[in-house]
Structure 1
Amino acid sequence: MRVVVYGAGQLAQMMYLAGSPLGIDVQAVDVNSDTVVHPVSKTPLDIPLDEAIEGADALTVEFEHVPERLLEVAAQTNKLMPNIQSILVGADRVREKQLLQSMDVANCEHQVVTHLDQLDACVDALGNKLILKASRDGYDGYGQWRLSDESELPDLKKSLQGLDLEAVPLVVEKMVNFDRELSLIGVRNAKGDIRTYPLAENLHHQGQLHVSVAPATNVDSELQEQAHTIFTKLAEGMDYVGVLAVELFQVSNTLLVNELAPRVHNSGHWSQSGAVTSQFENHLRAVCGLPLGDTSPLGPSAMVNIIGCSSFSRELLSIDGSHLHWYGKSVREKRKMGHINVTTQSYQQLGEKLMALGQYLPLEYFPKLVAEATRLKG
């Protein structure tokens, strides 16, 4: 079997590594040059894109911002999974909000803004604590602005003056006083079979994911079932095939959908060593028409992103249950360079191992690590 992935970053690389034991050959597409490359070495392959598409059993994506011209060609083959509509929803917050509203899925109260003059009405309707998000091309905290008080509104308008809001509207959300951020990774195949992983708790810094813990602590069966129901409604409603990530806010005992990612997701990386079947293998199983794998956890796990640095000691591998995943990128501020997975038998052990991990890392790049380790140790 062969799968062509649009995008040639770390997610395509991890799909390649997960597919090899199954006999699934994964090729990647550099969408900036329409070049077919090896997902690990990034070496161009001697095959034109149209031939790669023709020879593939399935086409998929590693990120949602694939040029629409490429997606349209892929969709015409009936091999693209998830479908083009689902991918476009993940790439556009306005479409995403419309989908959630149409399916009656609880999400953050919001308004869509196409002109700066509309911001005053947003304050009247939603209050003076708002988060503004560009509807396209925003991620990891980019393309977002905050309003903490109405007195800040004039300055906020000035900072937004250069934007073409008719071309790229803003989604203006009421700031939610949530208890914590969670995410659910789930998978659906073309037969309609669905598996979901346990909820993960996500810790962010400056809008970027730094640590995920799964299964999240203090999750009862009702909360997990609520998340599963949300996933099922969305996946069935979109006729979705593949892995879908649903980012959530927990407010008391209620879950609100924050964002959707129509692909394998950073907050599911823990599954590489912490679940019976990783999200990457399950995505390939789904798009290739194979039976879905067991999503049960093997024990409490954590994923720690390595962001913007390469100066750490690989002696961290001396910690039992730790696994390093390095992406081979050049260092850049806020760039995800790799991640570390740690899997244990108890949350206390997980806290102890995360604390030990800090001995091998420049902690200024890992601002959430020590506090989370201390919390888990109890």
Structure 2
Amino acid sequence: MTLATGSTIGIVGGGQLGRMLAVAAAQLGYKCHIYAPDKAPPAAEVAAYFSRSAFDDEAALARFGGEVDVATYEFENIAAGPLSALADHAPLYPPRAALEIAQDRLSEKDFITRLGGRPAPYAAVSTPDELDAAVARIGAPAILKTRRFGYDGKGQARIMDTADIGAAWEAVKGAPCVLEGFIRFDAEFSILLCRAPSGETALWDAPENVHAHGILDHSSVPAAPALRPAIAEAQALARKVADALDYVGVLTMEFFATAEGAVFNEMAPRVHNSGHWSIEGALTSQFENHVRAICGLPLGATDLVVPEVTMQNLIGEDVTRWRDILSDPAAHLHLYGKRQARPGRKMGHVTRLIGPR
């Protein structure tokens, strides 16, 4: 079913991803209604409507569902269960099953393994004894990650040798975890795929990503030619994942490129930081295609508009350089409207197009 222009898209979450989705939706003639617990979230500044309620308030979510024509979400660190109250009143994309899998690292890795993907060696850990056994089996160095509600390096502790086990367990405060073995990799990259209700899919060029302190620092498109075999392998897996979930919208999957091929890291059932370059750098951005998919519209072409594109995140006090950035006529600056710059907080990004159009 195609959603008529002038209809209202509900977005659960009020951060920068919701903000950029709302801008893309407005360009296609849709209104957006933001749902978030914050007093003045960045997305609300560019949306037609805003409802302030807790993410687990089922009565409020049901009311919200009755006021929109279709709904989506901008991040996965929300409980999937209460969203059923919303889905009872409006179509919700991506499907809740994708959210349930992606927000539990163990379920995610098991799911990917069943589909033939290859995550790093891993083991479920819920007690100190299980952590000891997991380290003995997987070895060190390794990284202990909480199963739920961790992103941008949060909820993680490194174990360089067995002497670090106790401190790592203290750091995660006894939460259910997954232990992951370290792997040797040549580069990190992500796959961004958009799938329509019809099963039509679109893929962007895979960005090569560089992280600092667990947070994406910058992305470059296209990735180095040496990564092409791993990227092709990862794209095939992304298609399997999208089809298995009957997915609708943008799906992001992050990978390590190794000598053996693509090693799965994690997936995000949403538009993603590593795809921000597509706003200026692709014929159709990740945000526009997500809106197209959930509204039942044909997907747009994803080709690069120039030979190369780079995207740099502005983290914390980096945002104070905005005047200098704008002195570069080739820079495309995006500021997220966040009032306070904190260490590790994404305040904006800048995209640069390289080469002739």
TM over 0.5: yes
Q: Given the alignment, which residue of 157, 167, 170 partners 2:177?
A: 170
Provide closer, same or farther for how the CA distance between residues 281 and 159 of structure 1 changes in structure 2, counting only shifts above 3 A.
Answer: closer
Q: Given the alignment, which residue of 74, 89, 93 partners 1:77?
A: 89
Counting only pairs closer than 5 Å after superposition, residues 14-29 of structure 1 correspond to structure 2 as: 14-29=20-35
Output one character per residue of 1:283-329: Cα deviation in whole Å (capped at 9) or x when no partner. Answer: 00010000011111122111111111132142422324311100111
- Partners of 1:51 and 1:147 in 2: CA distance: 46
Unmatched tracts of structure 1, length 5 or more: 347-378
Match of 2:134 in 1: 122
Q: Given the alignment, which residue of 320, 323, 328 partners 1:319?
A: 328
Query: AA paired with 1:290?
Result: L
Q: Given the alignment, which residue of 252, 272, 275 partners 2:279?
A: 272
Superposition RMSD in Å: 2.3
Match of 1:5 in 2: 11
Structure 1 position 86, deviation (Å)? 0.4
Counting matched residue pairs gives: 340
- Partners of 1:290 and 1:159 in 2: CA distance: 46
Q: Given the alignment, which residue of 55, 67, 79 partners 1:67?
A: 79
Range moving further from structure 2, 112-121 or 65-74: 65-74
* Partner-residue secondary structure (3-state), 1:39: helix
Query: AA paired with 1:135?
Result: R
For the pair 1:256 / 2:266, whether they are aligned, the reply is no
Provide closer, same or farther for how the CA distance between residues 23 and 128 of structure 1 changes in structure 2, counting only shifts above 3 A.
Answer: same
- Partners of 1:54 and 1:78 in 2: CA distance: 7
Structure 1 position 198, deviation (Å)? 0.9
Structure 1 position 43, deviation (Å)? 8.9
Structure 1 position 156, deviation (Å)? 3.3
Counting only pairs closer than 5 Å after superposition, residues 26-175 of structure 1 correspond to structure 2 as: 26-31=32-37, 39-40=44-45, 45=50, 50-77=62-89, 79-160=91-172, 163-165=173-175, 169-175=176-182
Provide closer, same or farther for how the CA distance between residues 146 and 37 of structure 1 changes in structure 2, counting only shifts above 3 A.
Answer: closer
> Identity, % of aligned pairs?
35
Match of 2:349 in 1: 339
- Partners of 1:128 and 1:119 in 2: CA distance: 12
Unmatched tracts of structure 2, length 5 or more: 1-6, 53-59
Output one character per residue of 1:326-371: Cα deviation in whole Å (capped at 9) or x when no partner. Answer: 011111121101110111118xxxxxxxxxxxxxxxxxxxxxxxxx
Output one character per residue of 1:144-185: Cα deviation in whole Å (capped at 9) or x when no partner. Answer: 11111223334434545xx243xxx11101111111111111
Structure 1 position 108, deviation (Å)? 1.1
Provide closer, same or farther for how the CA distance between residues 221 and 142 of structure 1 changes in structure 2, counting only shifts above 3 A.
Answer: closer
Range moving further from structure 2, 150-159 or 95-104: 150-159
Q: Given the alignment, which residue of 191, 205, 215 partners 2:212?
A: 205
Match of 1:187 in 2: 194
Q: Given the alignment, which residue of 303, 311, 316 partners 1:308?
A: 316
- Partners of 2:344 and 2:228 in 1: CA distance: 36
- Partners of 1:156 and 1:248 in 2: CA distance: 24
CA contact (8 A) 1:27 1:37 kept: no
Structure 1 position 71, deviation (Å)? 1.0
Query: AA paired with 1:70?
Result: P
- Partners of 2:164 and 2:75 in 1: CA distance: 34
